[in-house]
Chain A
Amino acid sequence: METTMPRPTLTPPLPDSDTRSLSNMLNRRLTSRQSRSGLFSGEIKIDRSGIHQGETLITVSTDDTNLEVHLQSFVPQPDEREIARRVFRALTEKLCKEHPAISMDAEVLGGTPHVTNTRLSVGKVLSKLYLYGSIQAIVEIHEPHLSEAQVKEAIAYAQDFLEIACDPHETP
């Protein structure tokens, strides 16, 4: 007895890397089992909005639940870079609460921590300190939009970030 496999849905949409990983896993599995048994031909195509079957309808026998089980148990594994990005993101957000002069807004500098109400990221404040040599010089350049207290707060934010991020015993 054969039945049409229900179209699985995964929400929210998978990022590209997860989609590729899922696609590869499914196609490897299908190639080795269903395709050889004549139950499947073609290729599962996946886009970011969910799973889409290829041109050939996929049918599986009711007693062969492998495919469905595997799909349900698929948990996208983020790569190390993505994990690091999430950890640092959580840390930057936490530090913004401790340093109110610093904020994050996805629409300003793409979400980079910056001095509130300016387009100066914390990194750029350090860069300017490196270039101009003093807090006062930075304040003079950006007057009246930037105060000495804000520059100091940006430096403190950077220090806290480095110390927490580099402390092996700290959990951000």
Chain B
Amino acid sequence: MTRTKHLKVMVDEDILGPRVLDALRRIGSVDAKTTFECGLGSGTKDGPLVAATADKRRLLLTANFRDINERVYEPCGHGGIIIIKHPRPSAEEIYARMKAFCESGKRSEAKGHVTYLRADKFTIHKLHKETVEERY
């Protein structure tokens, strides 16, 4: 019997909502917690938040792509960041993209890297500007 590795994420305050958490927890392969549940306070600064991904061994799930991205936080310098590339991501949108990404077989590659989940494809930014881009 093979053991499924869950994608452990902590949900940033900006996309937080009961519907978002419920939706993420419906995806069997995702273990979602809020940043508050991970011991981070409201209004945590960007740097400590990203650093916490390594300490907590959880990827940060955020929609804040303007300030948290691979240019500011280089791949492999943290535990991993997943960015929902949408200006107003609804719970359904987040669920659909995360589910599709988890089913792509590439979810383990998100660890330590910066992953963008777009409507129809995902892009994983790795070290030395290496990228993996695939359609769901």
Binding site for B on A (CB under 8 A): 105, 107-112, 116-121, 123-124, 127-128, 130-132, 141-142, 145
- Chain A residues contacting B88 (CB-CB under 8 Å) are 127, 130-131
Ordered by A's residue number, 17 sampled pairs between the chains whose C-beta atoms are within 8 Å are A110-B66, A110-B67, A110-B72, A111-B67, A112-B66, A116-B43, A118-B42, A119-B12, A120-B13, A120-B14, A123-B87, A132-B17, A141-B18, A142-B13, A142-B16, A145-B42, A145-B43
Chain A residues whose C-beta falls within 8 Å of the C-beta of B68 in the assembled complex: 110
B side interface size, CB within 8 A: 23
Q: A131: nearest residue on chain B (CB-CB)? A: B90
CA distance A145 to B90 in the complex (A): 21
* Residues of chain B whose beta carbon lies under 8 Å from any beta carbon of chain A: 12-14, 16-18, 35, 42-47, 49, 63-64, 66-68, 72, 87-88, 90
Measured CB to CB, the closest approach of chain A to B102, in angstroms, equals 23
Given A107-B47, A142-B13, A119–B42 Cβ distance below 8 Å?
yes
CB neighbours of B17 from chain A (8 A): 128, 131-132, 141
Which residues of chain A come closer than 8 Å to B42, judged between CB atoms? 117-119, 142, 145
Interface centre among A118, A119, A128 (most CB of B within 10 A): A119
Closest CB in chain A relative to B11 CB, distance in Å: 11
Chain A residue nearest to B92 (CB atoms) is A131
Residue of A nearest to B93 (CB): A131
State whether A118 touches B66 (Cβ < 8 A): no
Q: Which residues from chain A contact B16 at a C-beta distance below 8 Å?
A: 141-142
Q: Which residues of chain B are near A121, meaning CB under 8 Å?
A: 14, 64
Q: How far is the CA of A108 from the CA of B68 in the complex (A)?
A: 10
